Amino acid sequence: MANIAFIGLGNMGGPMAANLVKAGHKVQGFDLVQASKDAAKADGVSIAASAADAVKNAEIVVTMLPAGKHVLSVWTELVPLVGKNTLMIDCSTIDVESARHAHAHAKEHNLPSVDAPVSGGTVGAKNATLTFMAGGDAKAFADAKPILENMGKKIVHCGEAGAGQAAKICNNMILAISMIGVSEAFALGEKLGLSHQALFDVASTSSGQCWSLTTYCPVPGPVPTSPANNDYKPGFAAALMLKDLRLSQEAAKSAGAATPLGAHAESIYDAFEKAGHGGVDFSGIIKHVRHLAK
């Protein structure tokens, strides 16, 4: 069992740290928000006075923070402080450039490092069923894998530094585009007098089949567990989807890739958020799509 420092005990990090405790590790945590620290403490995480205190004696440091600037600032502070060979793992969703900078920073201090963003949301974080997509060299990945397995059920090595973040934003760009596509199909079906169930029964067993339809159906009824049946409570909030789309578009720009539908999806989610719906599940975009016709 390992000494693990966990920095960022929010909606995702809190339950992830709790699962490391459950697996038998000694976890020292830190967050800026008192309520997050209190909740983690109740789950068996020892709360340190600062991030620097949390990493004393740590063999592994995990960060789960909002964005690239937070990860770079925390890693810049901690990397020079930690012991030799301490494994640095960042599970936040951040831009590929910042992830590569964080890796480079660790490398300057001869520390192994992995970017390992997740898919699966707060439910996956709580139930230890997250998917991790990891970037880093083979040895660092091999060392990180058993730790990630305590918090998730599928761990994929995507390639070198930053490859985990690249896979994450590509996946979520597909998801945003497919959710808008499914929403447009239901909105058109409604205008054509087609019932939701009839369209679902056909598309879910035809070539229109996809996760946005069969697991996260944006209309109530056909998939009882989808957020549409719960007043579009997240789930995965539209604001987080917009964040990931922005990351995909930044990456597309800097890599010189053409992603016209990704760009359009970003503008659609941007309008949805500006209309005050950032806290709605991202499948609520169907309301925006319907509204466009009026």
Q: Which residues of the shown chain bind ligand NAD in the complex (CB under 6 A)?
A: 7-13, 30-33, 36, 51, 64-66, 70, 74, 92-93, 118, 121-122, 236, 240, 243
Residue bearing tokens 């995909």: 248
Closer to ligand NAD by Cβ: residue 9 or 21: 9
Residue nearest ligand NAD, CB atom distance: 10
Of the two residues 176 and 240, which places its CB atom closer to ligand NAD in the complex?
Answer: 240
Residue whose C-alpha is closest to residue 20's, from 50, 54, 53, 52: 54
Give least dist CB 32 to ligand NAD, A: 4
Q: Is 159 helix (H, G, I), strand (E, B) or coil?
A: strand
Q: Measure the CA dihedral 267/269/271/273, to 10°.
A: -140
CB of 187 to ligand NAD, least distance (A): 26
Structure tokens at 176: 């945003």
Tokens of 112: 């192994």
State the minimum distance, in angstroms, from the CB of residue 71 to ligand NAD.
Answer: 8
Output 27 or 185, the one with its CB closest to ligand NAD: 27
Distance, CA of 135 to chain centre? 15
Residue with Cβ nearer ligand NAD (131 or 178):
131
**Nearer residue to ligand NAD within complex by CB, 14 or 136:** 14
Q: Is 168 a catalytic residue?
A: yes
- Quote the tokens at residue 33: 């928000």
Which one of the listed residues 26, 168, 243, 287 is annotated catalytic?
168
SS3 90: strand
Shortest distance (Å) from residue 13 CB to ligand NAD = 5
H or E stretch at 41: helix 34-42
Residues 26 and 106: their CA atoms lie apart, in Å, by 23
At its nearest, how many Å lie between ligand NAD and the CB of residue 196?
26
Q: How far apart are alpha carbons 138 and 158 in whole angstroms?
A: 10
Rounded CA separation 31/288 (Å) = 36
Q: Which residues are catalytic?
A: 168
